[in-house]
Structure 1
Amino acid sequence: MTILYIDGDACPVREEVYRVADRLALKVFVVANGSRPLRPTGRPNVEMITVPDGPDVADDWIADQIAAGDVCITTDIPLAARCLAKGAKALSSRGHHWTEDNIGTALAGRAVAEHLRSFGANTRGPDGLTKEDRSKFLAALDAAINAARKPTARRLMVPPGGF
C-alpha cells in the first residue's frame, strides 16, 4: 500500500495532501523537527512525527522509512534523490516530479546555488504558491500516487530460439 511522506518543516501543501489521502484512504507521515510545531490534524490516517533538532534528521527518518511504491513530498533535492534511490516517487510542492532522469541536474544546480550563496549572491527561490501552483500540485500528486501503485512490469525472458 502506498504511504505518503511529507517533509513537513516547510511544506505549503499539507492540506492538499491530507484531502487526497482521505479520498484514497492512504497513510500519511508528516515529519519535522520541533522548530516548527505541527498541529495534529484529527485525521486517523495522518501521523505527526517530531524528530530531534539537527541537520537532516527529518530527511534521515523519511529516507529510512520510505520504500518502493511510496511517495515523498519535498522541496529538498538531496532527500528526493535518496527517496528515488529506494524506488519511491518524489514530488515537489509545486508539482515537479523528481526522476532518475532529472535528479542529477537538480543536485548539480543546487551545488552551484550553494557556491554562489557563499559569495553573497541571492539565490532565493520563487514566491509563495498560487492557486494554479496548488492545482498543478494536486494533478502531479494524483499522477505520482497512480505511478507508485502500479506494479513494476516484469520482463518475460524468452531464451534464444523460443521455448
Structure 2
Amino acid sequence: MMKIYVDADACPVKDIIISEGTKADIPVILVTSFSHFSTAEQPSGVETIYVDSGADAADYRIMKLAKTGDIIITQDYGLASLGLAKGCTVLHHTGYTYTNENIDQLLQTRYLSAMARKGGKRTKGPKPFTAEDKEKFRGLFKSTILS
C-alpha cells in the first residue's frame, strides 16, 4: 500500500496533504523533530514520527521507512535525490515534481550557492511562499495520489 511521507518541520502544505491523503485513504506519515512536538490530535490515518533535531534526522528516518511507489514531500534536494533513487514520487511544496531529469541541476545550483556563501557572497533565499504556490501544490498532489 502506498504511503505519503512528509518532511514536516517546515512544510507549509501539511493541511492539504492530510486533507487530501486521508480522503483518498492513503496513510500520511509526518516526520518532524522533537523541537516541533505537539499534542494536537491528528485525524485517523495520520501518524507523526518524532526524530532528534539533528540536521538530517528526518531525512534518514524517511529513507529508512519509504518504499518504491511511496510519495515524499520535501523541500530538501538531498532527500529528494535519495527518494528518486528508491523509486518514490517526490514533490516540492511549491507544486513541482522532482525528477531524474531536474535533480542534478537542483543539486548543482545548491552546491554553487553554498560555495558562494562560503566565499563570503550573499545569495538569494527562497521566494516567499504564496497562495498560488499552495494551489499549484494542491492540484499536483491531488493528481499524483489519484493516478
The two structures share one fold, judged by TM-score above 0.5: yes
- How far has the Cα of 1:146 moved from its partner? 3.8
| Contact 2:2–2:27 under 8 Å retained in 1 | yes
- Where in structure 1 do 4 or more consecutive aligned residues deviate above 6 Å? none
Partner of 2:57: 57
The answer to whether 1:122 aligns with 2:142 is no
- How far has the Cα of 1:3 moved from its partner? 0.5
Q: Percent identity?
A: 31
Q: In 2, distance between residues paired with 1:94 and 1:41?
A: 26
- How far has the Cα of 1:39 moved from its partner? 4.7
| Contact 2:29–2:47 under 8 Å retained in 1 | yes
Partner of 1:84: 84
Q: Gaps spanning 5+ residues in structure 2: where?
A: none
- The aligned length equals 146
Partner of 1:140: 140
Q: In 2, distance between residues paired with 1:33 and 1:137?
A: 23
The amino acid of 2:46's aligned partner reads V
| Contact 1:9–1:36 under 8 Å retained in 2 | yes
Distance change >3 Å, CA 72–CA 38, structure 1 → 2: farther
Distance change >3 Å, CA 38–CA 100, structure 1 → 2: farther
1:72-104 CA distance string (max 9 Å, x none): 010000000000010001000001100111111
Which protein is bigger by CA-based radius of gyration?
1
TM-score by length of 2: 0.93
Equivalent residue runs for 1:8-157 within 5 Å: 8-118=8-118, 119-127=120-128, 129-147=129-147
Greater Cα shift, 34-43 or 93-102? 34-43
The root-mean-square deviation of aligned C-alpha atoms, in Å, is 1.4
Distance change >3 Å, CA 102–CA 52, structure 1 → 2: same
The amino acid of 1:2's aligned partner reads M
TM-score by length of 1: 0.84
Q: In 2, distance between residues paired with 1:72 and 1:58?
A: 12
Q: In 2, distance between residues paired with 1:92 and 1:4?
A: 13
Q: In 1, distance between residues paired with 2:36 and 2:20?
A: 23
